[in-house]
Amino acid sequence: MHPVDVILIAAYLVTVVGIGLRFSGRQRTTDAYFIAGRSVPGWAAGLSLLATTITSVTFIAYPGAAYAGNWTLLGPGILFLAVILAIGPVVVPFLRHSVVMSVYEYFGQRFGRVVRLYAAFTFALGSFVKMGFVFYLLALSAASCTGWSMGWLIAVLGVITVFYTLVGGFSAVIWTDVVQGFLLWAGMAATLVILLFFSGARLPAIFHLLASSHKMSLGSMHFDLSQPTFWTLAIYGVFFYLQRYTADQSVVQRYLAAKSDRGALRGMVLGASLCLPVWTAFMLIGSLLWAIYHLTGQALPAGVTRADQIFPLYMVAHMPSWVSGAFLAALFGAAMSMLASDLNCVGLILMQDVYSQFYPRRTDAQRLRFGKLVIVLCGLLAIAVALGLTHTHGSALALYYAATAILAGGLAGLFVLAFLFRRASRAAALIGVVSNLIFTTYAVLTLHGGMILNLHGLNYPWSEYTIGACGNVLFLAAGLLGTALFPAKADSTLRYTLWDWLANRRQRPLSPMQPGEPS
């Protein structure tokens, strides 16, 4: 590590702590602390959406996948914008006028407390698993580049993230995301310029080799759901982003924090529009590295055993100090942005969807203290999980995918059932929940020919990328069957479904729900 690298990393860490301190003491209410008092400009909300979507996993997995294969992983991102443009103009204003702080309030309006608690706990558990894993992956990548201790990296970066999230609230999360967004684009642009023009390989030769080797292909166009083909990943992407932009609190929280409906929608479109170029750039980086090593005859750095190690090590070994330092700062920032966002989200939903439901008479100050306590405890537990994962020797990845497939399944189906079908009842939603949990558990256990539980001819036959899509479709189908068997009484209460909301909106303009209104 060159001293310039260390200075750039230290400067970034000091900046995020300074942003947290800048906003400390200003958030004296839950509204100010958890949704920034609905005062965030639309462009800042958009850059924050970009930062929370482009995680440290993107920095490592996308170049590694392109280096080892092709651009198959870009398939979901291509349909990303289509999903956003289809649902954004309706879902964003609907949620801003239907909930106070948490998207899971909406499920409580439609289906009662049990379904609301299920959705909140599903998201909280999935986020907690993700936080521990991202801490671990960040430390693993950074340690391979720097030689620093994984344990110390996890502890120091974890404490800094918890600190600025705790003292600065959601405002600090948003504005550190903005810094991260600019750092990401600057580092990415510099990396591409150096790889394209200063790598020692001629540009025409690079792209001729990439084209002849099909390294920029989007994968097989055969419709085979048992393999990660273009269509398999496209289906995965549709359901993943439908769930993320309708029932994921970390995204909805940014809708709610914007100053206006128009600002929230513009921020959503801005963030989504910036994601696809970033994913494409990281894919291009992986392909360029493959071509450069083949054309120049350079030997891979010592100790490289996996494709996802090549980009970080190339940055440190071959790039100018300021570029590698900026890259590592962006890598740290990507992980810390996502972790800060998830910590704030978990604190919010456990305060709003759990604590406030069981203790409705608590004051706003008491609720705020509880939310901050959750942030500290979850942050420390995530650090402990990450430290534990350093001793798993790789088995943590399989455990992570299995756990999140079971915990995160069904929320897109639940939202569609609640949003579009007026006669859907509490019983119908619970039937969907149980059906989805049974299916996802079965699919994960019998995946890949029954690696965990072998049922032979009854094993789940398709790729793991299809589990979430099938789970959501099954959830909706089971919910509609439950609706036919146990229909809800006709109810035109405001904000229950899209149709009620549209009818009331035509009668009179609606304003966003405010803290203190029933949730």
Which residue from 434, 433, 443 is spatially nearest to 470, judged by alpha carbons?
A: 443
Beta bridge partners of 40: 258
- Containing 150, the helix (H) or strand (E) segment is helix 150-197
Non-local (6+) Cβ contacts of 132 within 8 A are 381, 382, 384, 385, 386, 388, 389
The alpha helices in 421-510, defined as continuous H runs, are: 426-445, 447-450, 467-485, 498-507
Q: pLDDT tens digits, residue range 74-113?
A: 877 777 777 888 888 889 999 998 888 999 999 998 998 9
- Containing 495, the helix (H) or strand (E) segment is none
- Please give the share of the chain, as a percent, with pLDDT higher than 70: 91
Which residue from 406, 335, 346 is spatially nearest to 133, judged by alpha carbons?
A: 335
Q: pLDDT tens digits, residue range 453-499?
A: 888 888 888 887 788 888 899 999 999 999 999 988 765 444 578 88
CB atoms under 10 Å from CB of 485, counted, come to: 11
Which residue from 377, 401, 389, 373 is spatially nearest to 61, judged by alpha carbons?
A: 401
Distances from the Cα of 134 to the Cα of 247, 386, 397, 469, angstroms: 21, 8, 11, 24
Paired tokens of 144: 């391979």
**Is residue 502 in a domain?**
no
Q: pLDDT tens digits, residue range 133-169?
A: 777 777 777 776 677 788 888 888 888 889 988 988 8
Q: What is the pLDDT of residue 396?
A: 44
CA atoms within 13 A on the CB side of 101: 30
Q: Do the Cβ atoms of 443 and 503 come closer than 8 Å?
A: no
**Is residue 84 in a domain?**
yes
User: Average pLDDT of 404-416?
Assistant: 75
Q: What is the pLDDT of residue 518?
A: 44
Segment among 38-47, 301-310, 486-495, 510-519 with least mean pLDDT: 510-519
Q: Do the Cβ atoms of 77 and 54 come closer than 8 Å?
A: no
Alpha-carbon distance of 193 to 167, in angstroms, equals 38
Paired tokens of 207: 């792209």
**Is residue 485 in a domain?**
no
CB atoms under 10 Å from CB of 150, counted, come to: 20
Band of residue 516 on the pLDDT scale cut at 50, 70, 90: very low
Specify the 3-state DSSP secondary structure of 258: strand
Q: pLDDT tens digits, residue range 352-366?
A: 999 998 998 899 999
The domain in which residue 242 lies consists of 3-391
Residue 61 CB-density burial (10 A; 0-12 exposed, 13-18 middle, 19+ buried): middle
Q: What is the pLDDT of residue 300?
A: 75
**Is residue 286 in a domain?**
yes
Task: Output the CA angle 85-88-89, nearest 5 degrees.
Answer: 100
- Containing 129, the helix (H) or strand (E) segment is helix 113-146
CB atoms under 10 Å from CB of 427, counted, come to: 16
**Is residue 422 in a domain?**
no
Alpha-carbon distance of 414 to 432, in angstroms, equals 8
Q: What is the pLDDT of residue 488?
A: 83
**Is residue 364 in a domain?**
yes
CATH of the domain at 198: 1.20.1730.10
Total number of domains in the chain: 1
Q: What is the pLDDT of residue 375?
A: 93
**Is residue 187 in a domain?**
yes
Q: What is the pLDDT of residue 491?
A: 57
Non-local (6+) Cβ contacts of 18 within 8 A are none
Q: What is the pLDDT of residue 98?
A: 86
**Is residue 15 in a domain?**
yes
User: Average pLDDT of 375-390?
Assistant: 85
Alpha-carbon distance of 236 to 232, in angstroms, equals 6
Between 251 and 52, name the one with better pLDDT.
Answer: 251
Task: Output the CA angle 246-250-253, nearest 5 degrees.
Answer: 80
